[in-house]
Chains A and B, each alone.
Chain A
Amino acid sequence: MSLSQRLARLFALITATFAASAIAGKEPAIATGKMLGDTCASCHGTRGKSFDEYMPSLAGIDRQQLVRAMRDYRADRRASVVMNRIAKGYDDREIEAIADYFSRIR
């Protein structure tokens, strides 16, 4: 096994340990940013890349901009056609995971 493979294994182990401790705590498991982001893709394009003026691209979006927009939609502070209803289906942790995912896509 090469050094990079060993490091990858070690990293995976650490990640898994953290994930396990998160599950052991009171917070329920949530889907990954990618899995959650895939629910956005049916309107906003695969990996958040669309070419549509009404359903903008999310790929490469500023993380805080997306978090704020989703929270504002959810609280009905920002008017929209469907996003008010959709945003109500995601909690804070999920919104942050979605924002992490899309903000990292280049």
Chain B
Amino acid sequence: MPISRRELLKALAAAGALLPTATLAKPRGRAGHVVIIGGGIGGATAAKYLRLAAPAVRITLIEPGNRFLTCLRSNDVMVGHMKLDDITFTYDALRSRYGIEVIHDRCIGFDPKRKTVQLDRGGKLGYDKLIVSPGIDMIHGDVEGYNREVAESVMPHGWKAGAQTLLLKKQLEAVPAGGTWLMVAPPLPYRCPPGPYERASLVAEWFQRHNPTAKVVILDPKDAFTKDVPFRKAWERLYGYNTPNSMIEWIPAAQGGKVLRVDAAAGIVHAQAGAFRADAINYIPPQRAGTLAFRLGLTNRDGWCPVNRRTFESEVVRDVHVIGDASVADAMPKSGYSANSQAKVAAQAVADMLAGRTPGEPAMINVCYSLVSQDYGISIADIFKVVDNRIIKLPASGVSPITDSPAQPLLEAIYQRNWHRTFANDCFA
């Protein structure tokens, strides 16, 4: 279909690609203009819930990508139970149903005094409130022999879904009969605390079906991990854990699990316990707040963003709210569920502040389901409150009980799959 230059320009302008600086920096509406940077789970949820809380506010979402892949369930993509399409979401509903202006561009800086953000291609954009959801980035170079190039070739982390997930999948499938798949688990704090152990479990399940004499080794700089009690019970039930024929070997810090250096060319990881040769290596490095957080000067000495726990307003820069993995949220884990919950609190706080109201009491939650096999799920569920500017976990909630009921883990596995769809809708649709 032929399209005139004029129509093309109009279409591009509607997509935010060609709006001149003057238009973007136009005076804010009476109800205010909120700019949200980062279209992951936190940013998308914040945009949607801000619209629900503040119908008249102008909302602009800045995100370089035109679709988002959830890390959630990317382990299922690695073992072939889901496709990348199943974990891919667009910004169409945010635009069409919620009237949010989505601009596919990169934020390269801001002026907190003038309250403008600088976009890479689109000039300056004024804001009354800024919400940033920077996510995480990997720390390369903490261990000799490991760097970005190694991460993108022979030792993928698979901690951001997409190309890394497919690389992991390819390497898993290439493990020879009776070979070894090795994971280097990260130190806390990192995104998705149960994620490494779910992944190791699903690799073991894949081996049971496709490569039954192959083994999984986890080198861990920690001595404990979230849900470790039900995880290890499930490993006993499913993968012979704690027997000589165990398919999974977990080497904690106390047994020399800390990695000292890697030899990428030879496929060897040198840990305190000795040298481990493996046919596939999944190196999950230490993490820090996403680069955006550093670019905007929102981080503390530890590389994370300190915030007021009731509103998620930055403790470093006024009128900037930081949500999701990058924020310092005490007892809340760095999870998609936490980011979604924090986004709702921040959106309500921003709506209240713009309307001259004092934000009320926040309420937050985190629920994480992990699969130990396709038919065996375990979960953690916690409710959080803010006391003296600290997020605390209420004592009652917690981890799946270990029971003899075969229905419990099966139902948790079913819940997991159903939950992913509902959750993604709560964020993006």
Query: What residues of chain A have their CB less than 8 Å away from a CB belonging to chain B?
Result: 29-32, 34-36, 38-39, 41-47, 50-55, 81-82, 85-86, 88-90, 94
Contact = CB atoms under 8 A, between A and B. Distances in A.
A42 B361 contact: no
Contacts of B379: 81-82
Contacts of A82: 367, 379, 381, 412, 415
Given A43-B423, A85-B398, A35 B361 contact: yes
A106 B361 CA distance: 25
A100 to B, nearest CB: 14
Nearest to B427: A42
Contacts of A81: 379, 408, 411-412, 415
Contacts, number: 98
A82 to B, nearest CB: 5
Contacts of B337: 42
B389 to A, nearest CB: 15
Interface in B4-60: 48-49, 52
B345 interface: yes
Contact of A54 (B345, B363, B394, B418): B418
Nearest to A39: B365
B70 to A, nearest CB: 13
A104 to B, nearest CB: 15
Given A52-B418, A89-B383, A43 B362 contact: no
Contacts of A41: 344, 426
Contacts of A36: 363
Given A30-B361, A82-B367, A43 B397 contact: no
Contacts of B361: 29-32, 35
B348 to A, nearest CB: 6
B396 interface: yes
Interface string B380-422: 0111000000000010111000000000100110110011011
Contacts of A94: 363
Nearest 6 interchain pairs by C-beta: A89-B383, A88-B396, A31-B363, A39-B365, A31-B361, A38-B344
Contacts of B398: 85
23 contacts: A31-B360, A31-B361, A31-B362, A31-B363, A32-B360, A34-B348, A35-B344, A35-B345, A35-B348, A39-B363, A42-B341, A42-B426, A45-B426, A46-B425, A52-B418, A53-B418, A54-B414, A55-B419, A82-B379, A86-B381, A86-B397, A89-B383, A90-B383
Interface residues of B, number: 36
Nearest to B414: A54
A34 B54 CA distance: 14
A84 B52 CA distance: 29
Given A46-B425, A55-B422, A82-B379, A39 B341 contact: yes
Contacts of B52: 46-47
B340 interface: yes
Given A31-B363, A39-B341, A54-B414, A89 B382 contact: yes
Contacts of B345: 35
Contacts of A35: 344-345, 348, 360-363
Contacts of B408: 81
B362 A89 contact: no
B364 interface: yes
A28 to B, nearest CB: 9
Given A31-B360, A86-B367, A89-B365, A39 B426 contact: no
A31 B345 CA distance: 10
A30 to B, nearest CB: 6
Contact of B365 (A32, A42, A45, A54): A42
Contact of B426 (A46, A86, A89, A90): A46
Nearest to A40: B365
A8 B422 CA distance: 37
Given A39-B365, A42-B340, A45-B426, A55 B382 contact: no
B350 to A, nearest CB: 14
A57 to B, nearest CB: 10
A54 B364 CA distance: 22
B412 to A, nearest CB: 6
Nearest to B45: A42
A80 B116 CA distance: 49
